[in-house]
Amino acid sequence: MTITAAADGSALGNPGPAGWSWYIDDEHWAAGGWPRGTNNMGELKAVLELFRATAGTDDDLLVLCDSQYVINSVTQWMPGWKRKGWRKADGKPVLNVELLQDLDEALAGRRYRFQWVKGHVGHELNEAADERARAAATAHQRGAAVPAGPGFGGTPAATPAPERRPFAPTASLFDLDPPARAHRVTVELNPEEWERLQRRAQREGRSPEEQLRALATDAS
Protein backbone atom coordinates (compact mmCIF):
# COMPACT_ATOMS: atom_id res chain seq x y z
CA MET A 1 0.00 0.00 0.00
CA THR A 2 0.96 3.64 -0.39
CA ILE A 3 0.35 6.33 2.20
CA THR A 4 -0.42 9.65 0.53
CA ALA A 5 0.17 12.71 2.68
CA ALA A 6 0.60 16.45 2.23
CA ALA A 7 3.27 18.37 4.15
CA ASP A 8 3.33 22.14 4.49
CA GLY A 9 4.87 24.98 6.48
CA SER A 10 3.87 28.51 7.36
CA ALA A 11 5.63 31.57 8.79
CA LEU A 12 3.97 34.82 9.80
CA GLY A 13 6.62 37.32 8.81
CA ASN A 14 9.22 34.84 7.50
CA PRO A 15 10.96 34.83 9.88
CA GLY A 16 8.25 35.04 12.48
CA PRO A 17 5.92 32.70 14.36
CA ALA A 18 6.10 29.50 12.33
CA GLY A 19 4.16 26.28 11.97
CA TRP A 20 4.31 22.94 10.19
CA SER A 21 1.82 20.20 9.46
CA TRP A 22 1.43 16.91 7.67
CA TYR A 23 -2.00 15.62 6.76
CA ILE A 24 -3.32 12.26 5.55
CA ASP A 25 -6.96 12.53 6.63
CA ASP A 26 -8.94 13.91 9.55
CA GLU A 27 -7.88 10.98 11.77
CA HIS A 28 -4.20 11.11 10.80
CA TRP A 29 -2.44 14.47 10.96
CA ALA A 30 -0.08 16.43 13.16
CA ALA A 31 1.11 20.01 13.57
CA GLY A 32 3.59 22.04 15.58
CA GLY A 33 5.85 25.03 15.28
CA TRP A 34 8.11 27.58 16.95
CA PRO A 35 7.83 31.14 18.26
CA ARG A 36 10.20 32.22 15.49
CA GLY A 37 11.16 30.45 12.30
CA THR A 38 11.00 30.55 8.52
CA ASN A 39 8.66 29.05 5.98
CA ASN A 40 11.41 26.73 4.72
CA MET A 41 12.00 25.46 8.23
CA GLY A 42 8.30 24.68 8.55
CA GLU A 43 8.28 22.87 5.21
CA LEU A 44 11.27 20.71 6.17
CA LYS A 45 9.94 19.98 9.64
CA ALA A 46 6.57 18.88 8.24
CA VAL A 47 8.24 16.29 6.01
CA LEU A 48 10.59 15.19 8.79
CA GLU A 49 7.74 14.62 11.24
CA LEU A 50 5.73 12.76 8.59
CA PHE A 51 8.59 10.30 8.09
CA ARG A 52 9.06 9.94 11.84
CA ALA A 53 5.36 9.34 12.44
CA THR A 54 5.15 6.63 9.77
CA ALA A 55 8.48 4.98 10.59
CA GLY A 56 6.78 1.88 11.96
CA THR A 57 4.93 1.08 8.75
CA ASP A 58 6.10 -0.94 5.76
CA ASP A 59 4.06 1.11 3.30
CA ASP A 60 5.39 3.30 0.52
CA LEU A 61 5.04 7.02 1.17
CA LEU A 62 3.90 9.59 -1.39
CA VAL A 63 4.66 13.09 -0.10
CA LEU A 64 2.78 15.99 -1.64
CA CYS A 65 4.68 19.28 -1.31
CA ASP A 66 4.18 22.75 -2.71
CA SER A 67 7.81 23.55 -1.81
CA GLN A 68 10.36 23.07 -4.57
CA TYR A 69 13.02 23.83 -1.95
CA VAL A 70 12.14 20.72 0.05
CA ILE A 71 11.79 18.46 -2.98
CA ASN A 72 15.06 19.62 -4.51
CA SER A 73 16.86 19.40 -1.17
CA VAL A 74 15.90 15.75 -0.76
CA THR A 75 16.03 14.51 -4.34
CA GLN A 76 18.88 16.56 -5.82
CA TRP A 77 21.04 18.63 -3.47
CA MET A 78 21.45 16.56 -0.30
CA PRO A 79 23.99 14.01 -1.62
CA GLY A 80 26.31 16.79 -2.75
CA TRP A 81 25.91 18.71 0.50
CA LYS A 82 26.84 15.59 2.47
CA ARG A 83 29.96 14.97 0.37
CA LYS A 84 31.06 18.55 1.04
CA GLY A 85 30.49 18.32 4.78
CA TRP A 86 27.06 19.97 4.58
CA ARG A 87 28.37 22.93 2.65
CA LYS A 88 27.13 24.40 -0.60
CA ALA A 89 29.12 24.66 -3.81
CA ASP A 90 30.35 28.12 -2.77
CA GLY A 91 31.67 26.72 0.51
CA LYS A 92 29.04 28.39 2.68
CA PRO A 93 27.22 26.30 5.29
CA VAL A 94 23.89 24.81 4.22
CA LEU A 95 20.93 26.57 5.81
CA ASN A 96 18.67 24.57 8.15
CA VAL A 97 21.40 21.94 8.38
CA GLU A 98 20.13 20.24 11.55
CA LEU A 99 16.67 19.73 10.08
CA LEU A 100 18.23 18.41 6.88
CA GLN A 101 20.51 16.02 8.76
CA ASP A 102 17.56 14.72 10.78
CA LEU A 103 15.59 14.31 7.57
CA ASP A 104 18.46 12.48 5.89
CA GLU A 105 18.48 10.03 8.81
CA ALA A 106 14.69 9.59 8.71
CA LEU A 107 14.77 8.79 4.98
CA ALA A 108 17.19 5.89 5.37
CA GLY A 109 15.62 2.60 4.33
CA ARG A 110 12.26 4.13 3.44
CA ARG A 111 10.38 3.74 0.15
CA TYR A 112 9.08 7.14 -0.85
CA ARG A 113 8.60 9.63 -3.61
CA PHE A 114 7.78 13.32 -3.71
CA GLN A 115 5.20 15.02 -5.88
CA TRP A 116 4.98 18.77 -6.34
CA VAL A 117 1.54 20.32 -6.05
CA LYS A 118 0.67 23.94 -6.62
CA GLY A 119 -0.29 25.63 -3.38
CA HIS A 120 -3.49 27.58 -2.72
CA VAL A 121 -5.43 26.23 -5.67
CA GLY A 122 -7.87 24.05 -3.76
CA HIS A 123 -5.91 20.78 -3.58
CA GLU A 124 -7.70 19.03 -0.72
CA LEU A 125 -4.73 17.52 1.12
CA ASN A 126 -2.46 20.51 0.55
CA GLU A 127 -5.11 22.93 1.77
CA ALA A 128 -5.69 20.83 4.89
CA ALA A 129 -1.97 20.79 5.72
CA ASP A 130 -1.64 24.51 5.00
CA GLU A 131 -4.60 25.35 7.24
CA ARG A 132 -3.12 23.41 10.15
CA ALA A 133 0.38 24.83 9.68
CA ARG A 134 -1.03 28.38 9.72
CA ALA A 135 -3.08 27.54 12.81
CA ALA A 136 0.09 26.40 14.59
CA ALA A 137 1.95 29.57 13.58
CA THR A 138 -0.98 31.71 14.72
CA ALA A 139 -1.08 29.88 18.05
CA HIS A 140 2.58 30.67 18.63
CA GLN A 141 1.95 34.29 17.65
CA ARG A 142 -0.78 34.51 20.30
CA GLY A 143 1.05 32.45 22.91
CA ALA A 144 -1.72 29.86 22.82
CA ALA A 145 -1.67 26.06 22.82
CA VAL A 146 -0.86 24.58 19.42
CA PRO A 147 -3.51 22.26 17.90
CA ALA A 148 -1.23 19.24 17.65
CA GLY A 149 -3.55 16.72 15.97
CA PRO A 150 -4.04 12.99 16.60
CA GLY A 151 -0.75 11.95 15.00
CA PHE A 152 -0.48 8.77 12.97
CA GLY A 153 -1.33 6.16 15.56
CA GLY A 154 -3.77 8.15 17.65
CA THR A 155 -1.13 9.72 19.90
CA PRO A 156 -0.46 13.45 19.38
CA ALA A 157 2.82 13.90 17.54
CA ALA A 158 3.48 17.38 18.87
CA THR A 159 3.13 19.10 22.20
CA PRO A 160 1.37 22.39 22.98
CA ALA A 161 3.40 25.56 23.26
CA PRO A 162 5.26 25.59 26.59
CA GLU A 163 3.49 27.44 29.36
CA ARG A 164 5.00 30.80 30.24
CA ARG A 165 5.69 30.41 33.94
CA PRO A 166 6.63 33.29 36.23
CA PHE A 167 10.28 33.30 37.21
CA ALA A 168 10.79 31.39 40.47
CA PRO A 169 14.32 31.83 41.86
CA THR A 170 16.30 28.75 42.91
CA ALA A 171 19.85 28.34 44.13
CA SER A 172 21.72 28.86 40.89
CA LEU A 173 24.16 30.93 38.95
CA PHE A 174 21.68 33.81 39.02
CA ASP A 175 21.63 34.22 42.84
CA LEU A 176 23.25 37.30 44.37
CA ASP A 177 24.97 37.19 47.78
CA PRO A 178 23.95 39.34 49.61
CA PRO A 179 21.14 40.28 49.17
CA ALA A 180 19.41 37.36 47.39
CA ARG A 181 17.22 38.83 44.68
CA ALA A 182 15.76 37.27 41.55
CA HIS A 183 16.87 38.67 38.22
CA ARG A 184 14.92 38.09 35.05
CA VAL A 185 17.17 36.96 32.21
CA THR A 186 16.01 36.89 28.58
CA VAL A 187 17.61 34.26 26.35
CA GLU A 188 17.03 34.36 22.61
CA LEU A 189 17.19 30.96 20.94
CA ASN A 190 16.78 30.18 17.29
CA PRO A 191 14.16 27.52 16.46
CA GLU A 192 16.71 24.69 16.24
CA GLU A 193 18.24 25.64 19.62
CA TRP A 194 14.76 25.83 21.17
CA GLU A 195 13.89 22.39 19.83
CA ARG A 196 17.10 20.89 21.25
CA LEU A 197 16.34 22.49 24.63
CA GLN A 198 12.81 21.06 24.58
CA ARG A 199 14.05 17.55 23.72
CA ARG A 200 16.62 17.61 26.52
CA ALA A 201 14.10 18.97 29.01
CA GLN A 202 11.57 16.25 28.08
CA ARG A 203 14.22 13.54 28.53
CA GLU A 204 14.97 14.82 32.04
CA GLY A 205 11.34 15.46 33.00
CA ARG A 206 11.67 19.24 33.21
CA SER A 207 10.13 22.29 31.66
CA PRO A 208 12.42 24.27 29.28
CA GLU A 209 12.71 27.01 31.95
CA GLU A 210 13.76 24.47 34.59
CA GLN A 211 16.28 23.01 32.15
CA LEU A 212 17.88 26.43 31.62
CA ARG A 213 18.15 26.92 35.37
CA ALA A 214 19.71 23.46 35.72
CA LEU A 215 22.27 24.36 33.07
CA ALA A 216 23.04 27.57 34.95
CA THR A 217 23.48 25.61 38.17
CA ASP A 218 25.83 23.15 36.46
CA ALA A 219 27.91 26.06 35.19
CA SER A 220 28.33 27.62 38.67
User: What is d(CA 183, CA 185) in angstroms, rounded to the nearest whole number?
Assistant: 6
192 by Cβ neighbours in 10 Å (0-12 / 13-18 / 19+) ranks as middle
Point out the residues that are catalytic. Answer: 8-9, 43, 66, 120, 130
CB 64 within 8 A of CB 186: no
DSSP 55: T
User: What is d(CA 19, CA 4) in angstroms, rounded to the nearest whole number?
Assistant: 21
User: What is d(CA 129, CA 22) in angstroms, rounded to the nearest whole number?
Assistant: 6
**Which amino acid makes up residue 66?**
D
CB 22 within 8 A of CB 53: yes
> Using alpha carbons only, what angle is made at residue 3 by residues 34 and 156, rounded to the nearest 5 degrees?
40
CB 73 within 8 A of CB 97: no
